Amino acid sequence: VNDTIYKGNLTNGKPSGTGKITRANGSYYEGNFVEGLMQGQGKLVSTSGYTYEGEFQKGIAKGKGTLTYPKDAGNISYVGDI
């Protein structure tokens, strides 16, 4: 059973344009998709409390962005190139 939920536009059955994908564990990505991959600006939130907001390339956090660590890790943020 696949408990991943996608809300947004599809092109040829793949996420395209702006959307949100939420995985069964509660982590999610909200932002732009191209051919089913995270691409351009978006926000990725993990269940462990890490948040990355910035640029994505071909499904990977890459480019300028902000990585914020969870509160129990001091709520530290890094801003720059990933």
Report pLDDT digits (tens) over 57-66.
999 999 999 9
pLDDT digits (tens, 9 = 90+) for 1-55: 579 999 999 999 999 999 999 999 999 999 999 999 999 999 999 999 899 999 9
Structure-block tokens of residue 64: 């300028």
Q: With CA atoms as reference, report the closest residue to 17 among 2, 3, 1, 36.
A: 36
pTM to 2 decimal places: 0.87
**Residues near 81 by beta carbon (within 8 Å), at least 6 away in sequence:** 63, 64
Q: What is the model's pLDDT at position 72?
A: 81
One-letter amino acid of 6: Y
